[in-house]
Structure 1
Amino acid sequence: MTVKQILQELEALGSDQTRRIYRSHGAKNPLYGVKIGDMKKLLRKTGTLREEALELWDSGNADARYFAALAVEADFMSRTNLRKWARQADWHMLSEYGVAQLISESPHGWTLGIEFIESLKENVACCGWATLGSWLSFRPDKEIEVDQVKALLAKLESTIESKPNRLRFTMCNFVVAAGAFVPEMTKVCLAICKRLRNLEIEPVKKGCSVPEIVEDLSKIQTMGRIGKKRKRGRC
């Protein structure tokens, strides 16, 4: 399919209701309002993309950008392009899910995640923490440097109170991911979760208060799913 055809398909799949939902989460125009499930169905028709994904991103359309992040071949993406996408991902579904999960699958996932968490731009820093959490979710244990994860958690806990609201939320999610996917860190993360319970985060969606976020790790442990890996970052 050509880029023009993909854009036409996305436009046809859009709805007013989904546009309203996406706008409530920060999406900006141009925007079709396509459900992620419908994007995945379209992906089965287009297959993996390369140059077409870059064109879709450069269209500036929010749905086209999310689809590009779903469809592009991770190994095709250069550091330069991944940095550009992280910088331009201007709403949290795109920065913390679409782009972050793509970056985690690329050969540059861990190093770019580490780079991005130092950014002064909130969307880039959020993308960084989400990338690192996604990277841990599917990488084999032998690839994970536990000491690095431990150092990141210490850095996170010492700085989280000074961070803006959305970034606090994403950092809390990293604690849960580290505890869930790195068994050696589960006890450490559970202890951090307890200490973060009084951290203030203004609700960004239903079920996103700190107690509800940190209780996720306890639930994962109770279900016996600590250390259960995903097949890939993008899902």
Structure 2
Amino acid sequence: MAEVAEVMAELAALEDPKARAVNERHGDDHGVNLGKLRAVAKRLKTQQELAGDLWATGDTAARLLALLICRPKAFTRDQLDVMLREARVPKVHDWLVSYVVKKHPDAEALRLTWFADADPVVASAGWALTTERVAKSPAGLDLPGLLDVIEARMRDAPQRLQWAMNHCLAQIGIEHAGHRARAIDIGERLEVLKDYPTPPNCTSPFAPVWITEMVRRQQAP
């Protein structure tokens, strides 16, 4: 097993000031190119103990690497809850939810716990898991109730939570034709992310535009 010190030295050697400057604009305090980070993970392969040690360093690049080499089902529900509450860096938070929690047998229990949490960053994870269910396993979800909450709270929600709610709103509109008109109407009235700068050839995160474009693509011959 690779030693933590060796891996940390390797990550330090990959540090790129230009990459750090770009990442820091998104709130991510590391300077390692993610392609190079993935190459390190591919070489190390799955090593759960090393992943735990890397996570414990608190270093952002090390934590991202840990999430790539861990065994998701080896964590307990309580461990994942603690990790999520520690994960304040956006990329670490996103990878933890996407690469680990979504693959865990307790993902639904964690979704319910986090969805109602008072911490908006923790709650955003609950919303991300809810969006996953909206798209892949909506049976049992109260979609009108979700739209009620989004309509009442999204405009004034903190940024990370607002973004997660907006994604859920768009996903409901994209995947569920019966709720599409209401989802678009909510987006148009709240105007969340309406003026978000969007590069050419990319879809705006403004829900009415996002929904309309994705439905168009689905229906295109």
Cα–Cα, structure 1 residues 213 and 61, in superposed 2: closer, same or farther, change >3 Å? same
The counterpart of 1:212, out of the listed 205, 208, 214, is 205
Amino acid in the other structure paired with 2:158: P
1:85 and 1:79 map into 2 onto residues whose CA distance is 10
Amino acid in the other structure paired with 2:5: K
1:105 and 1:79 map into 2 onto residues whose CA distance is 12
Amino acid in the other structure paired with 1:213: F
Unaligned stretches of 5+ residues in structure 1: 227-235
Amino acid in the other structure paired with 2:216: T
Indicate if the aligned counterparts of 2:173 and 2:183 stay in contact, CA closer than 8 A.
Answer: no
Using CA pairs under 8 Å that are at least 6 residues apart, name the structure with larger relative contact order, 1 or 2: 1
| TM-score, length of structure 2 as denominator length | 0.82
1:204 and 1:118 map into 2 onto residues whose CA distance is 29
In structure 2, the residue matched to 1:224 is 218
TM-aligned CA deviation for residue 164 of structure 1: 1.7
Indicate if the aligned counterparts of 1:207 and 1:213 stay in contact, CA closer than 8 A.
Answer: no
SS at match of 2:205: helix
Asked whether 1:18 is paired with 2:19, we answer: yes
In structure 2, the residue matched to 1:36 is 34
Unaligned stretches of 5+ residues in structure 2: none
CA deviation profile, 1:154-177 (whole Å, cap 9, x unmatched):
333333234223311111012233
Indicate if the aligned counterparts of 2:155 and 2:192 stay in contact, CA closer than 8 A.
Answer: no
2:53 and 2:47 map into 1 onto residues whose CA distance is 10
Indicate if the aligned counterparts of 2:173 and 2:184 stay in contact, CA closer than 8 A.
Answer: no
Amino acid in the other structure paired with 1:195: I
The counterpart of 1:100, out of the listed 97, 102, 121, is 97
CA deviation profile, 1:5-52 (whole Å, cap 9, x unmatched):
222222222210111122222234xx4x11222222222101123121
1:35 and 1:204 map into 2 onto residues whose CA distance is 29
Asked whether 1:195 is paired with 2:193, we answer: no
In structure 1, the residue matched to 2:74 is 76
In structure 1, the residue matched to 2:4 is 3
Which deviates the most, 106-115 or 160-169? Answer: 160-169
In structure 1, the residue matched to 2:167 is 173
What percentage of aligned pairs have identical amino acids? 20
1:177 and 1:100 map into 2 onto residues whose CA distance is 17
CA deviation profile, 1:193-223 (whole Å, cap 9, x unmatched):
3322342547997439xx6331223222211
The counterpart of 1:158, out of the listed 144, 147, 152, is 152
Indicate if the aligned counterparts of 1:129 and 1:174 stay in contact, CA closer than 8 A.
Answer: yes
- Bigger Cα Rg: 2
TM-aligned CA deviation for residue 61 of structure 1: 0.5
